[in-house]
Amino acid sequence: MSSTSAPGTPILQIRDLVVTYGGAVQALRGVNLTVDEGSVVALLGSNGAGKSTLLRALSGTLRLHRGRVERGEILYRGENLKGRDPARCVSSGLVQVPEGRRIFTRLTVEENLRAGGLSVRERGGRSADYQRIYDMFPILAERRSQRAGLLSGGEQQMLAIGRGLMSRPSLLLLDEPSLGLAPRIIGQIGEVIREINRQGTSVLLVEQNATMALRAADTAFVLDVGRVSLSGSADELAQSDAVQRLYLGHGTDESAERVAARAENPKKQLTRWSE
Ligand SMILES: Nc1ncnc2c1ncn2[C@@H]1O[C@H](COP(=O)(O)OP(=O)(O)O)[C@@H](O)[C@H]1O
Ligand SMILES: [Mg+2]
pLDDT tens figures, 29-85: 999 999 999 999 999 999 999 999 999 999 999 999 999 999 999 999 999 998 899
Rounded (5°) CA angle 57-76-195: 90
Give the pLDDT of residue 222: 95
Does 208 sit in the ligand 1 pocket, CB within 6 Å?
no
Give the pLDDT of residue 168: 94
DSSP code at position 1: -
Ligand 1: atom nearest CA of 223 is 22
**Ligand that comes closest to the CA of residue 179:** 2
Ligand 2 geometric centre to CA of 145 (Å)? 31
Does 63 sit in the ligand 1 pocket, CB within 6 Å?
no
Q: How far apart are alpha carbons 144 and 130 in whole angstroms? A: 10
| Rounded mean pLDDT, 12-28 | 95
Of the residues 17, 19, 20, 25, which should be mutated to test ligand 1's pocket, given the most ligand atoms within 8 Å of the CB?
25
pTM of this prediction? 0.88
- pLDDT category of residue 3 using cuts at 50, 70 and 90: very low
- Pick 265 or 18 by higher pLDDT: 18
Give the pLDDT of residue 121: 63
Q: How far apart are alpha carbons 58 and 96 in whole angstroms? A: 8
Give the pLDDT of residue 125: 63
Q: How far apart are alpha carbons 77 and 75 in whole angstroms? A: 6
Of the residues 46, 47, 52, 53, which should be mutated to test ligand 1's pocket, given the most ligand atoms within 8 Å of the CB?
53
| Rounded mean pLDDT, 120-147 | 87
**Ligand that comes closest to the CA of residue 61:** 1
Ligand 1: atom nearest CA of 51 is 22
Q: How far apart are alpha carbons 243 and 236 in whole angstroms? A: 10
Ligand 2 geometric centre to CA of 30 (Å)? 18
Ligand 1: atom nearest CA of 49 is 22
Give the pLDDT of residue 23: 84
